[in-house]
Amino acid sequence: MAADWLGSIVSINCGDTLGVYQGRVSAVDQHNQTISLTQPFHNGVKCLVPEVTFRAGDIAELKILEIPVDNQQNRQTHDNGSAASCVPASQQNGTSKQKPVSAPQSIPRRTDARSNDPAGTSPQPCSKSYVDKHTEAINQPKNFRRRHNSWSSSSRYPNQVTPKKTGPKNGQLKARDDECFGDDLEEIPDADFDFEGNLALFDKAAVFEEIDTHERRGGGGAARSRGTPNERPPTYRHDENILESEPIVYRRIMVPQSGGKEYCTDSGLVVPSIPYSLHKKLLCVAERHGLSVERRLEMSGVCAAQMALTLLGGPNRLNPKNVHQRPTVALLCGPHVKGAQGISCGRHLANHDVDVILFLPNFVKMLEPVSNELNLFGQTQGKQVSSVKDLPDCPVDLVINCLDCHENAFLRDQPWYRAAVEWANQNRAPVLSIDPPVNDQDLGIHAKWSLELGLPLPLGEQAGRVYLCDIGIPQKVFREVGISYHSPFGCKFVIPLHSM
């Protein structure tokens, strides 16, 4: 029974996902419930494979478009006994012979047949236009491809009849359509396009050189019509300003007394050094105008703490996910204003979850700024020690040196001073000096960084890399001491300085 359908042209609807297939039945497997089509078409386009096999579960609807004459006669002979009872007697005894007609038949799904057609009635035939369309698609030559974007497509209006064009232009139009849409899909090459090989054929340098030569000779007519000169226009980098501006002045700070050394910032601005006498006078005038010692200590402590936090690793080290590796900073301070600056820095570091250990020797009498800063530091979680023996034996992350003073050089002869210097050298931790004094002799502790206040002093090689912080001195104060000042800080409060 399955062999009777071989050679028939059918249309198989596999749903919205797989689409509709048409082709000639080449094999029917009743045991595995499969059907195979040869020369298949998928949604009106010829498939690249010669044969397609469908399972019964994937078929939503199957329509028979054409039955071969031999198969139809065999089926009529095979079903003669059963069909005779259904045919009227007048037709059975008739002498006229009818031509076999291959009418399309529709085979519904199994679920539809069980529910809607329990008696096994014959399916309804499909429309003639649908049959003609799919039959024509299967019988077309190999190099033919139907246009699916045509307004007269029968898939859009199946009952509409398109008039046939007549005239001498019909052959030209057909030849043009065949030339445009007649390529077979099998002729598409499988190899990928060689972009690198094709690009190697293009000599980019030679083409651009030819364009530049043409522009230099004045060959650009469009350029001359816009009024551009014959000379080649200047080119600019991405970080250059194309707008004309005033010439840049790099020396904006003029001092009445030079310290003998000049620095420059990252942007090229020149920052001259000043001697300690002019630096002391600048601070005294600033204090007379309202910039008190407490204000200066607070500003210098904030800038020093910000620089120390950056040296400790910044956000990569100080974050909530890294609380088990809190940095440790050792502060070595003396009983003077420089030591008070270090205590202020330690207070800000302790507020930022840094383990701070403050070394300050016991003195019977201390300066008022030192006592005030020490009282504020006691409100934090920082630790204060008065003996070098209480300092940690293991290396710390950073040592901040505030032992030295500009005027009291006799402190270097004290036992606590020599013991603190020996501990710092043995700890092998990087050292940051805050406002170090100017002295050519060996101070004992070699700093890796030094932080200057306002304007730098002429420091030696022992100071390491010099940084400058803004402590908020007004410009009027600079003018009063004879300094022509223009801020070199820009958007920062701490900037690096480079020796010139």
What would the pLDDT profile of 282-295 be if each residue is shown by its tens digit? 999 999 999 999 99
Q: What is the pLDDT of residue 271?
A: 95
Q: What is the pLDDT of residue 190?
A: 66
Q: What confidence tens digit (pLDDT) does each residue in 364-405 have?
A: 678 889 999 999 999 999 999 999 999 998 889 999 999 988
Percent of the chain with pLDDT strictly greater than 90: 37
Compute the CA torsion angle 355, 361, 366, 369 (nearest 10 deg).
-20
Q: What is the pLDDT of residue 480?
A: 94
DSSP assignments along 104-152, one per residue: -EEE--HHHHHHH-TT-PPPPPPPHHHHHHHHHHHHS-TT----SS-TT
Q: What is the pLDDT of residue 216?
A: 78
For residues 361 and 148, the model is more confident at 361
Q: What is the pLDDT of residue 198?
A: 83
Per-residue pLDDT band at 86 (split at 50, 70, 90) = very low
Mean pLDDT of the chain: 78
Per-residue pLDDT band at 129 (split at 50, 70, 90) = very low
Task: Give residues with Cβ within 8 angstroms of 146, minimum separation 6.
Answer: 44, 137, 140, 181
250 token code pair: 């790099």
78 token code pair: 């095979």
Per-residue pLDDT band at 249 (split at 50, 70, 90) = confident
Percent of the chain with pLDDT strictly greater than 70: 72
Is pLDDT above 80 for 76?
A: no
Q: What is the pLDDT of residue 239?
A: 79
Is pLDDT above 80 for 4?
A: no
Is pLDDT above 60 for 482?
A: yes
Q: What is the bridge-based pairing of β-strands 262-264 and 270-272?
A: antiparallel
Task: Give residues with Cβ within 8 angstroms of 472, minimum separation 6.
Answer: 291, 295, 296, 299
The Cα 407–Cα 232 span in angstroms is 64
Residue owning tokens 């491809």: 145
The Cα 417–Cα 440 span in angstroms is 19
Per-residue pLDDT band at 184 (split at 50, 70, 90) = low
For residue 481, give the 3-state DSSP assignment: coil
Per-residue pLDDT band at 325 (split at 50, 70, 90) = confident
For residues 91 and 433, the model is more confident at 433
The Cα 166–Cα 412 span in angstroms is 116
Mean pLDDT (whole number) for 414-442: 86
For residues 17 and 281, the model is more confident at 281
Residue owning tokens 């204060």: 384
Residue owning tokens 């500003």: 299
Q: Is the dihedral of CA 250, 254, 260, 261 positive or negative?
A: negative
The Cα 123–Cα 125 span in angstroms is 6
Q: What is the CA radius of gyration of the chain?
A: 49
Q: What is the pLDDT of residue 111?
A: 43
Mean pLDDT (whole number) for 75-90: 46
Q: What is the pLDDT of residue 188?
A: 61
Is pLDDT above 70 for 411?
A: yes
Instruction: Using alpha carbons, list the distances in angstroms from residue 404 to 64, 200, 262, 338.
Output: 105, 69, 23, 7
Q: What is the pLDDT of residue 72?
A: 59
For residues 117 and 424, the model is more confident at 424
The Cα 406–Cα 388 span in angstroms is 23
Q: What is the pLDDT of residue 260?
A: 87
Q: H or E segment at 466?
A: strand 465-469
For residues 281 and 143, the model is more confident at 281
Q: What is the pLDDT of residue 128?
A: 43
Q: H or E segment at 195?
A: helix 195-200
Cβ count near 340 (within 10 Å): 28
Is pLDDT above 70 for 231?
A: no
Q: What is the pLDDT of residue 279?
A: 94
Q: What is the pLDDT of residue 77?
A: 53
Instruction: Using alpha carbons, list the distances in angstroms from residue 124 to 27, 154, 242, 284.
Output: 25, 21, 80, 111
For residue 32, give the 3-state DSSP assignment: coil
Per-residue pLDDT band at 214 (split at 50, 70, 90) = confident
Lowest-confidence segment of 102-111, 233-242, 263-272 by average pLDDT:
102-111
Q: What is the pLDDT of residue 96?
A: 39
pTM of structure: 0.54
17 token code pair: 């996902």
Inter-residue contact 61 to 106 (CB < 8 Å)? yes
Q: What confidence tens digit (pLDDT) does each residue in 440-463 have?
A: 555 678 899 999 999 999 988 888
Highest mean pLDDT out of 69-83, 97-111, 412-426: 412-426
